[in-house]
Amino acid sequence: GWVVAGAVVGTPLAAAAVLMAAYLAFATVPPVPVPPENPITEQKRVLGKILFWDEQLSTSGTVSCGTCHTPTRGFTDNRLARNPGNDGVLNTPDDVHGSPGVLSSDLVNDYLRDPVFGVGPQITDRSANAVVNAAFAPELFWDGRARGRFNDPQTGAIAINAGGALENQAIEPITSTVEMAHAGLNWAMVTERLDQARPLDLATDLPADIAAVLTPETSYPDLFAAAFGDGEITARRIAFAIATYERTLIADQTPFDRFSAGETAALTALQAQGLQAMQQSNCRVCHQGDLFTDQSFRNVGLRPIAEDNGRQGVTNNLQDRGKFKVPSLRNVGLKRTFMHNGQFTTLTDVIRFYARAPGAAPQFPDNRDPVMQQINVPPQAANAIQAFLQDGLTDQRVLTAQFPFDKPVQYTERSAAHVALLPGGNAGTGGFLPRIFVASPPMVGNRDFRIGLDAAMGGATARLAVSTSPPIGGRIDPTTVFQPESANGVGAGLGLATYHWHLRPETFAEGQVLFVQWVVADPAAVGGEAWSNVARLTFFCGLSGCPSPCPGDRDGDRDTDSDDVALFFTAWEAGDNASDVDGDLDVDSDDVGSFFVSWDTGC
C-alpha cells in the first residue's frame, strides 16, 4: 500500500485523493502582491509587454528582455551557450550554461575584443531565471540582489518603499554591458533611443493586445502618455511598465492546480505517486506550498564556492556563501537547463544529484545546507517524481504561448532577415584572412547599423567597399569606398574596426541589396591589400513601414534648423555616408543641393 500522512491506502489514485485533501488548505495561488506606488493598469501592462519584447531596447538591436525568456521554455532561455567559467577553458567542470548577450562595445558603440569571448556574443555567468510567477518573490535573481526597495535609477529617490523586486530586476539587464548595453550607457541614452524608435519596429506577428494599440504612427511617447499621463520617458517608468507586465505572467492552470481543486483525475497515477514521493523525500521542505518554493537561499553543494559565492556577494555575510535562490518548480518541465549555472540539461540529472545516485554529479560540503542530509530519493521514486515535475506542474498556456504568455516574432528569430556572410577575401600578414561581421539589423532607418572587421593587421588602414553587384571570385567591384577606419590592435590578426552606418530612408529602400567587403592596407598581402569575406545586406522596413525620407532633419528632433546644417556639413566634409542625401552611395556636391531642398521645405 501507499503511506500518506500515516494512513495506508491501496492505490495511487486513492493516495491522490488523500493528498488532495491535504493540499486544499494552501493549494490556491495567492493574490499577486502589487506595490501601491505602481498599481496595475491595462495601458501600463501593454506598454511593459511592448518594452519587454523590443530588441531596440538594446544597443545592438538584437537583444530584448524576452530574448532570454522564451515562453515555451517556461520563460527561461531556449539557447544553450557556454561560459567557460573561472578557468577560462571550455568544456571543463566549472563551465556555465548562460545566455548570449551583446558583443562587447565601447562608449561610442565600437566593437571591442573581449578577453574571453573575442568578438562573439558575451555569455552570462548564470542561467536565466524564469519570469513567470516571479511576482511572488520578495527578492529576485539567483543571489537576490533585486530587493524590495526600488530607487529611481536617475534621481536616486525612493520610488517603491517595499515590494519592488520586479522593478529592480526589470531594469538591470538594460544597462548590463554583457546582456544589452555598450560600455558607459546611461539612462539618458536609453530614453533618447526609445524616443526616436518606433515601438517594436523589428518585430512581426504581434499579439492581439499589442496590435490593438500600435499603428504606424504610434510612438513611444504616445504609449508612455497613455500609461502615465504624459509622454516623458524615464527609467522609473520603464521599470514600472515592465514590472507591471511581469506581474500578469501568473501560471496557475496546471494539472496540479486542477487536482488541488478537486479534479482527482487531473494527475495520472504516476504523477500522483511522484507528488507523494516528493513529500516523503523532503523535496517539499524547500519547494513548499502551491508556488513550490519557500523563496529562501540555500547552498546545495553543487559547485565549489570559489567559482561563485552567490548570496554572499549581496549580503557580505560569510554564512551566505554558496547560497542561491530556491526556484519555483512550476513549469520546470519546460526548462532547457537547471540550477544557477545551468549545469544539468535534464530533470533526470537533477533528480540523480539530489538522490546522490551512483555516478551523479558530486556534492561539495563547504557550507552545504543541513537540509541536504534530509533529502532521500529512493531509486524507485525517481521516475514518479520526474513524471510529476515534467507535466504535472506545466501550464499549457505557457507551453503553447497563449495569452498572457504570447509574444511577437523577433528579428533574431527571422533568419531570412539576417545579413548573409559569403566566402571570399585575400589573406594578409601572417596568413590571416580579415573577417567581416555584422550583428545589427539592416532595417531602413536604423541609426546605428554597424559593420565589424576582425583578424586584420593591427594598426592598418581599413576601408569599407560597397557594391550593388555580387562578388566575382570572392571580391566585389566597388561602387564606392567609404572613409578609412583604424584597424585597432597590435600585430597580425588583431586588427579590429567598426563602421557605423545610419541607414537613412532617403538612401535605402526595402528589398535593396548591397554587398560590402573590408579592404585593409597590408604590404604582406598580394597586391598590398588584404580583403575580407563578403557580406550581403538585404534592407527591410520595420513593422510600421519605412520612415519617410527627411534629409534636412539630421539630428532626429523632427524639425529643421541650424543644428541640422552643422551636422550635415561635418559629415559631408568627412565623406561620411550619412551625408549621402541623394542615395547614390557617393558623397559629392549633389548631396549639398539635395540637403538644402529638404531643409528649406522642413520635410
Q: Are 375 and 353 in contact (CB under 8 A)?
A: no
- Terminal-residue alpha carbon distance, the chain: 82
Q: Are 536 and 416 in contact (CB under 8 A)?
A: no
Distance separating alpha carbons of residues 505 and 168, to the nearest angstrom: 37
Main-chain phi, psi angles of 177, to 5 degrees = -75, -5
Q: What is the pLDDT of residue 305?
A: 98
How many residues make up the chain in this entry?
Answer: 603
Distance separating alpha carbons of residues 464 and 499, to the nearest angstrom: 8
Question: What are the pLDDT digits (tens) for 557-566?
Answer: 666 778 778 8
Averaged pLDDT of the chain: 92
Q: What is the pLDDT of residue 595?
A: 76
pLDDT beyond 80 at 416: yes
pLDDT beyond 50 at 337: yes
Q: What is the pLDDT of residue 597?
A: 76
- CA distances to 67, 367, 369, 372, 453 from 363, in Å: 32, 11, 11, 10, 45
Averaged over 310-337, what is the pLDDT?
A: 98
pLDDT beyond 60 at 139: yes
Range of lowest pLDDT (302-306, 332-336, 489-493, 495-499): 489-493
DSSP string covering 27-64, please? -SPPPPP--TTS---HHHHHHHHHHHH-GGGSSSSS--
Q: What is the pLDDT of residue 365?
A: 96
pLDDT beyond 80 at 388: yes
pLDDT beyond 90 at 258: yes
Question: What are the pLDDT digits (tens) for 108-131?
Answer: 999 999 999 999 999 999 999 999
Q: What is the pLDDT of residue 555?
A: 67
pLDDT beyond 80 at 554: no
Averaged over 208-226, what is the pLDDT?
A: 97
Averaged over 305-310, what is the pLDDT?
A: 98
Between 8 and 466, name the one with better pLDDT: 466
Q: What is the 3-state secondary structure (H, E, C) of 350-400?
A: HHHHHHCCCCCCCCCCCCCCHHHHCCCCCHHHHHHHHHHHHHHCCCHHHHC
pLDDT beyond 70 at 16: no
Averaged over 6-14, what is the pLDDT?
A: 38
pLDDT beyond 50 at 353: yes
DSSP string covering 476-511, please? ---SEEEEEEE-BSSSTT-EEEEEEE---TTT--TT
Q: What is the pLDDT of residue 581?
A: 74
Question: What are the pLDDT digits (tens) for 25-51?
Answer: 334 689 999 999 999 999 999 999 999
Residues of the chain with pLDDT > 90, as a percent, come to 84
Q: What is the pLDDT of residue 11?
A: 43
Q: What is the pLDDT of residue 132?
A: 97
Q: What is the pLDDT of residue 553?
A: 75
DSSP string covering 523-548, please? TTSGGGEEEEEEEEEE-B--TT-PPP
Averaged over 51-66, what is the pLDDT?
A: 98
- CA proximity to 127, closest of 78, 90, 168: 78
Question: What are the pLDDT digits (tens) for 146-194?
Answer: 999 999 999 999 999 999 999 999 999 999 999 999 999 999 999 999 9
Distance separating alpha carbons of residues 415 and 428, to the nearest angstrom: 31
Distance separating alpha carbons of residues 138 and 148, to the nearest angstrom: 6
**How does residue 21 score in pLDDT terms, banded at 50, 70 and 90?**
very low
Cell of 230: 504624459
Distance separating alpha carbons of residues 253 and 393, to the nearest angstrom: 9
User: If you search the block for the grid coordinates 530588441, which residue do you land on?
Assistant: 55
pLDDT beyond 70 at 368: yes
